[in-house]
Amino acid sequence: MRLNGINVYDAIFKVVILGDVGCGKTTLRKRFMTNKFVSNSQHTIGVDFETKLLEIDGKVVKLFIWDFAGQERFRFIFPQYLHGAMGGILMYEITNHASFSHINDWLSVIDKTKERFPIILLGGKSDLDNFREINWREGQRVAKLMDLNAFSECSSKTGENVKESFEKLTRIMLNRMAINKNEILVS
């Protein structure tokens, strides 16, 4: 929205996308940004980010979306980039059990920063259901066990649950912001 030539937003949120290399973080971000599947994306080196405007429930929200490299050698830079995050998507690939087993490692990276923000656990590449190694119930169970805010699966290839996942996270962040304005603290 513009007011007297100035962009006005109801909220501006920094969102981080974390997960192992190759689990679909960059294709998720690119699908969300363009609504197109980019099959030839290169692995992220360090960190990449983009901005996107969303209208959610009549509110205009600007998202700064930070896509982190999945390689362990880049994890030392994450703490400074996680600063100020208001929400996160933690991804794994449904056809790769190793990426699922590293969920706790990624959460410990976040815990070391003392940043507290809502996190959605997202199983990527759901279009590859025939090669599935992690069933939906197991993903949901781990999200509850780890006290994450939501769980879903998506496919950047088909677009299934991509926009909906970002919208869900944005609603959680907006609700958290409204609760915090009323001085009810949410951890």
CB atoms < 10 A from the CB of 178, how many? 11
Query: What does 68-112 look like in DSSP terms, one character per residue?
Result: E--SGGGGGGHHHHHTT--EEEEEEETT-HHHHHTHHHHHHHHHH
Residue 43: the pLDDT is 56
pLDDT > 70 in the chain, percent: 80
Residue 83: the pLDDT is 83
Residue among 128, 117, 25 nearest 70 (CA): 25
Domain 2-181: CATH class, spelled out = alpha beta
For all residues of the chain together, what is the average pLDDT?
A: 85
Give the whole-angstrom CA distance, residue 67 versus residue 70. Answer: 9
pLDDT in tens, 62-84: 999 988 765 564 555 566 778 88
Which residues of the chain carry a pLDDT beneath 50?
A: 2-4, 73, 183-187
Residue 182: the pLDDT is 53
Q: Could you tell me the residue ranges of all domains in the chain?
A: 2-181
Residue 4: the pLDDT is 43
Integer-rounded Cα Rg, in Å, for the chain is 16
Residue 183: the pLDDT is 44
Residue 96: the pLDDT is 97
The pair phi, psi for residue 121, each rounded to 5°, is -90, 125
